[in-house]
Amino acid sequence: MRQALFAAGLGAATVLGFAPFGIFPLPVVTLALLFRFWARAPSARAAAGLGFAWGLGFFLTGVSWVYVSLHDVGGMAAPLAVVATLLFCAYLALFPALAGYLSCRLTSADFWHNALLLAGMWTLTEALRGVLFTGFPWLAIGYSATPPNPLAGFAPVLGSHGLDFLVALLAAAFARGLRRKAAWLLLILLASLGQFLRAMDWTQPVGQPLTVSLLQGNVPQSLKWQPENLELSIATYLDLAQQHPAALTVLPETAIPLFFDEVPGKVLQRLTRHGDVLLGIAIRHRSGGYVNGAVALTPAQAQSYAKRHLVPFGEYVPPGFAWFFALVNIPMADFSAGPTRQPPLAIAGQKIAPNICFEDLFGNELRTALPEATLLVNLSNTAWFGRSLAQPQHLQISRLRAIETGRMMLRATNTGITAAIAPDGRVLAALPPFTRGALIVEAQGYAGVTPYVRWGDALAFSIAIGALIPSCLAAYRRRRSG
């Protein structure tokens, strides 16, 4: 029990390695200590229990904003919101538990074999968390490796799952031999190579820079969907657009709480008075149903993008869970998913690949719009998560997507954090969260292909699977000889 409590504490402390705290060496330390616990566990089942305890501490601390979303904003009764949050975090904790169980079953006495085993198993279970039941890769350990972490240089090559592997590999090396020269040499090698890769220009500027106005309306979620407050949303964004004109104006996800075909023509005319507009709004199908979308408004035409990776319980009803929506107030919770492949939107002289809300968690999906797209734009409404860790954590995720793709990432959000991110992951400018305003930035389009855009997660997964082979072979030999 004492070890389990300590493991849970280690998991909770690991959150300090992510935004907004940014103590990036900490996840290496806490993972190393967890791996030492696994090495001393009397059985694979005991190792799984320690992994579960670590995960429970990690997720209850790191995604505590789920409770805020359900209770503070969604109106669910507090006891039910506590239970729902606990169950969700317990589900997420199963993945480090699985990594502990399998690593213990395949453990090897060889230093490098075991280090590779732990790194590979951790990476593959993180990847599984990112796809199972539509996936929730939030707070994957690789996100702690954004700049100034030197490992960020590997992101354009290996992506976030490759960073999962490298962080876990360092942790495993120090877990098995803090005083070993091999562990310190690995740290020096990876840090040096990462800094070298950060200096490489994987993509090149294309076209002329354009002025972009990113609008942050800060309309409270409690007011947004009430019919009597419709004029509040419309007036807020019209005023911001007119007071901060630009070649391209970007409004966040569902900025105007109407279907696009219901928006008065005079409102669209006023929005586009000074330039092109990218508007986050629900779009109704002619055949029925509706999508969470983005509409590019230009003098010549209107183009649209439909969100393709929907949030279960927030944007659609999983089979058998209709009862859930009697307990929580979530408007428009029956969206349809957009097509897997959608062309970039030609607007303001650029080819823009929009992504809506948590779609930017899925780097392998964003790359389908590349290399055609020259600019990435995230439209979000994080008012659902209140004043929590969700906003800075989401910004950190967007930073990694910019590095992977070698493109600028622009973020227009309702409550924050609205920001402009350079292709190297630097935040060029940002608005304070929970304020109303417009962020005026010079955005540059980029062309070219990073290794990650070309190969996606295939390279990272190949490395992770390959890392398991020595230990798997050794376990096979032991079984045959025993």
Show which residues are catalytic. Answer: 253, 307, 357
| Pairing status of strand 290-297 against strand 302-306 | antiparallel
Alpha carbon 226 to its chain's center: 29
The number of C-alpha atoms within 13 Å of 64 and in the hemisphere containing its C-beta is 10
Contact 42, 184 (CB under 8 A): no
**406, HSE (Cβ side, Cα atoms, 13 Å):** 26
How does DSSP classify residue 68? I
Structure tokens at 333: 């919770």
- 333-371 burial by CB neighbour count: b if 16+ within 10 A, else e? bebbebeeebebbbbbebbbbbbbbbbbbbbbbbbebbb
DSSP for 241-280, written as a single string: HHHS--SEEEE-TT-SSSBGGGS-HHHHHHHTSSSEEEEE
DSSP, res 30 = H
Query: Distance between CA atoms of 113 and 92, rounded to whole angstroms?
Result: 27
H-run or E-run covering 52: helix 44-62
Bridge-based pairing of strands 350-356 and 375-380 is: parallel
CA 307 to chain centre: 15
Token pair listed for 359:
């779609």
